[in-house]
């Protein structure tokens, strides 16, 4: 589905910005992807990343959360609490993250000696949301919640989902079981 924004609609969308108090952000990163780039041709590379994004997009649709953006070749960002601003959908985002970790193992890649793994991170908090850009307008999220979710992903381990304490609080009482890694020193800019 393509969304075309007319100049009038774009001008109106530029004036719409809001604070969303409870949003759960998921960042996921494909490990091994950059190493694969040097070993395969351009068509194989595009076919592989397309396979990953088709699987991820279908998973996001299944849980009715919001795909925010993909960054480069290896990062995929999802948010809960955008479509339903009164609840952060932390359990839905956790379900997406678990499916991503599992499904990426079975995506065929050109290098038979290697498989993709996912590293994921989640955080729940407030964000500023709005449309930015003129040539290719995008709905973007800003704030410390986004930065913290990114850090959770960076400090995660392969095949794991590193979550923050606020995110863990929203998962209490759900079907999800979390376990502590102990104290992890997260580098703050």
- Residue 73 within any structural domain of the chain: yes
Using the Cα atoms of residue 121, residue 164, residue 152 and residue 68 in order, give the sign of their dihedral: positive
- Residue 187 within any structural domain of the chain: no
Most confident by average pLDDT, 13-17, 71-75, 119-123: 119-123
Among the listed residues 116, 139, 129, 126, the one whose alpha carbon sits nearest the alpha carbon of residue 166: 126
Whether the per-residue pLDDT at 68 is higher than 70: the answer is yes
Burial of 126 (0-12, 13-18, 19+ CB in 10 A): middle
- Residue 182 within any structural domain of the chain: no
105-155 pLDDT, tens per residue? 888 777 666 778 899 999 999 999 998 888 888 888 999 999 999 999 999
For range 65-85, the mean pLDDT: 83
Structure tokens at 178: 């979390």
Among the listed residues 78, 72, 68, 77, the one whose alpha carbon sits nearest the alpha carbon of residue 37: 72
Give me the pLDDT at residue 83, please: 80
Give me the pLDDT at residue 84, please: 78
Query: Please, what is the average pLDDT of the chain?
Result: 84
Say which CATH number the domain at 162 has: 3.30.70.1230
- Residue 2 within any structural domain of the chain: no
Whether the per-residue pLDDT at 89 is higher than 80: the answer is yes
Whether the per-residue pLDDT at 87 is higher than 70: the answer is yes
Q: CA 188 to CA 183: how far, in whole Å?
A: 15
Whether the per-residue pLDDT at 186 is higher than 80: the answer is no
Q: How many domains does the chain have?
A: 1
Residue 98 structural domain: 13-171
């Amino acid at each position: 589905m393509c969304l075309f924004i007319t100049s009038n609609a774009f001008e109106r969308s530029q004036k719409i910005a809001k604070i969303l108090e409870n949003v759960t952000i998921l960042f996921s990163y494909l490990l091994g992807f950059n190493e694969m780039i040097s070993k395969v041709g351009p068509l194989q590379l595009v076919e592989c990343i397309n396979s990953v994004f088709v699987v991820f997009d279908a998973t996001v649709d299944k849980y009715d959360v919001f795909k925010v953006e993909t960054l480069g070749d290896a990062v995929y960002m999802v948010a809960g609490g955008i479509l339903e601003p009164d609840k952060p959908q932390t359990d839905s985002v956790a379900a997406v993250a678990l499916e991503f970790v599992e499904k990426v193992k079975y995506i065929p890649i050109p290098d038979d000696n290697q498989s993709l793994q996912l590293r994921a991170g989640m955080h729940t908090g407030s964000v500023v949301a709005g449309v930015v850009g003129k040539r290719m307008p995008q709905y973007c999220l800003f704030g410390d919640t986004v930065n913290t979710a990114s850090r959770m992903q960076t400090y995660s381990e392969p095949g794991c989902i590193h979550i923050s304490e606020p995110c863990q609080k929203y998962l209490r009482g759900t079907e999800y079981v979390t376990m502590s890694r102990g104290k992890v020193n997260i580098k703050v800019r």
